[in-house]
Amino acid sequence: MSKKELHPETIVLHAGWRADPTTGAVAPPIYQTTSYQFKSTEHAANLFALKELGNIYTRIGNPTTDILEQRLTALEGGAAALAVSSGQAASAYAIQTIAKAGDNVVSSTDLYGGTWNLFANTLRDQGIEVRFVDPTDPQAFARATDSRTRAYYAETLPNPKLAVFPIAEVAAIGRPLGIPLIIDNTAAPILARPFDHGAAIVVYSTTKFIGGHGTSIGGVIIDGGNFDWEAHPERQPALNAPDPSYHGAVWVQAVKPIGPVAYIIRARTVLLRDLGAALSPFNAFQILQGLETLPLRIARHSENALAVAKHLSTRREVTRVIHPSQQTGVARERAEKYLKGGLGGLLGFELAGGADAGRRFIDALQLFYHVANIGDARSLAIHPASTTHSQLTAEEQLATGVSAGYVRLSIGLEHISDILADIDQALDAAGA
């Protein structure tokens, strides 16, 4: 049976691994090794010269991690993937693979706070300018573009605004210019399929819904294999000009025998090699365990979050519920176009009593955990303005959708009656 015919529920259990050829073990083994015995000096030289593909050193690749990479590639409908040690590393490498000092990237303003910081400060300090634009107007990406623009960047279902990004519209602006759209699909795995809408690269924090268990930090970059990096060589010099950091390799030429994977091969052989944010084999195993149940979990997260959104909208203390089900107009149309099979597990709300009521609500929760995370099997709550987004200025917070009274919930897999009961008692206790 060809992989194309398989459904997500099957891919997460089968892609990339069948059984250990020596022992018959069905569960993917944890190859907890740093290095790999070369067969000969010729074999070693061929591996380093990329004449042969194989294991060299776990910073650059590992067989357990490879299973995760293959499985996520199949699930996403891409060509190849690179797993890394966190979602942050995935976002950073996704850009650094093709942009260097003097280049720029155009990004949606609607970002996770950590990504905002990476873009507004750390990448800027490295000479890569990130130009933030309002994603409700796709043409803003075109207006911010110049000859040094190397990529567009956005989140599918941006946490915390939860207004779905116009993937197809912005991808279509970039393609004729040779500019790939990089999409962070962390909040909508399975539900959204960015490659089907023209995105070139997908990144995830696998720490969240993909792992689901809240035990392991990880990230992944998936190359759609659907972008013509050669069409505009002056636009993408990192892949089209000789790379001094790899014997002058011209990546689009060097990888031709392997496939349309120049971008992800450079991410591995240059960025991961040099900066070293490798995923540990144990975490790769843990993330594989979580991934096996992702289709079931994301459906239940979505079902429970929808019920919470409906319930909150009936409570008089709640002035606003932020969830795709509550949106109208273009935002609603985008949610319907891009999210299939559920609206995700995240939602936000504002209380009439503002920031103080929000803090009282969180302190009163008993079932929900008060943590800086999303996508765990357990229900989670946080007050972004004083935590995840606290390093942003007040204007930056508002640009990313964080008002002072905003409370973010990541709805878990508990019974919906227990979730609603905890919310109700906390709202009562907050006296908002």
The span from the CA of 362 to the CA of 365, in Å, is 5
Applying CB under 6 A, the span of 2-10, 75-83, 180-188, 422-430 interacting with ligand PLP comes to 180-188
Q: In this structure, what DSSP letter does residue 29 have?
A: P
Give the neighbor-by-neighbor strand order of the sheet with 318-322: 318-322, 346-351, 406-410, 380-382, 369-370
Q: Which residues on adjacent β-strands are paired with residue 201?
A: 182, 223
Work out how close the CB of 393 gets to ligand PLP at its nearest, in angstroms, rounded to a whole number: 20
Q: With respect to ligand PLP, which residue has the nearer C-beta, 96 or 145? A: 96
- Among residues 29, 63, 114, 233, the one that binds ligand PLP under rule CB under 6 A: 114
* Residue indicated by tokens 């079931």: 296
Q: Is 109 in the site for ligand PLP (CB under 6 A)?
A: no
Buried b (16+ CB within 10 A) or exposed e, 68-86: bbbbbbbbbbbbbbbbbbb
Interacting span for ligand PLP (CB under 6 A) from 80-88, 271-279, 321-329, 392-400: 80-88
For ligand PLP, which residue of 76, 155, 223, 376 counts as binding (CB under 6 A)? 155
Of the pair 88, 280, the CB lying nearest ligand PLP is at 88
Each residue 13-32 as x (binds ligand PLP by CB under 6 A) or -, in order, gives --------------------
> What CA–CA distance (Å, rounded) separates 411 from 68?
26
User: Which residues, including other chains, have CB under 8 Å from residue 291's CB and lie 6 or more apart?
Assistant: 12, 68, 71, 72, 75, 206, 210, 211
Q: For ligand PLP, which stretch binds (CB under 6 A), given 182-190, 229-237, 250-258, 298-306? A: 182-190
Is the alpha carbon torsion for 280, 269, 75, 189 positive or negative? Answer: positive
Grouping H, G, I as helix, E, B as strand and the rest as coil, residue 319 is: strand
* Cβ distance to ligand PLP smaller for residue 283 or 326: 283
Burial class of residue 273 in the structure, from the number of CB atoms within 10 Å of its CB (0-12 exposed, 13-18 middle, 19+ buried): middle
Using CB under 6 A as the binding rule, whether residue 374 contacts ligand PLP is answered as: yes
Which residue stretch of 87-95, 191-199, 351-359, 398-406 sits at the interface with ligand PLP (rule: CB under 6 A)?
87-95
Using rule CB under 6 A, residue 115 touches ligand PLP: yes
Residue 191 touches ligand PLP, criterion: CB under 6 A? no
Task: Using the Cα atoms of residue 179, residue 185, residue 188 and residue 193 in order, give the sign of their dihedral.
Answer: positive
Q: How many residues bind ligand PLP (CB under 6 A)?
A: 17
Find all residues with CB under 8 Å of 170, minimum gap 6, and list them: 135, 138, 141, 152, 154, 181
Toward ligand PLP, which CB reaches closer, 73 or 206?
206
Closest CB to ligand PLP among 78 and 375? Answer: 375
Binding status of residue 207 toward ligand PLP by CB under 6 A: yes
**With respect to ligand PLP, which residue has the nearer C-beta, 109 or 159?**
159
Query: In the complex, what is the shortest distance from the CB of residue 119 to ligand PLP, in angstroms, rounded to a whole number?
Result: 12
**Residues 410/379, Cβ–Cβ less than 8 Å:** yes
Residues of the shown chain interacting with ligand PLP in the complex, contacts defined by CB under 6 A: 86-88, 91, 112, 114-115, 155, 159, 184, 186-187, 205, 207, 217, 219, 374
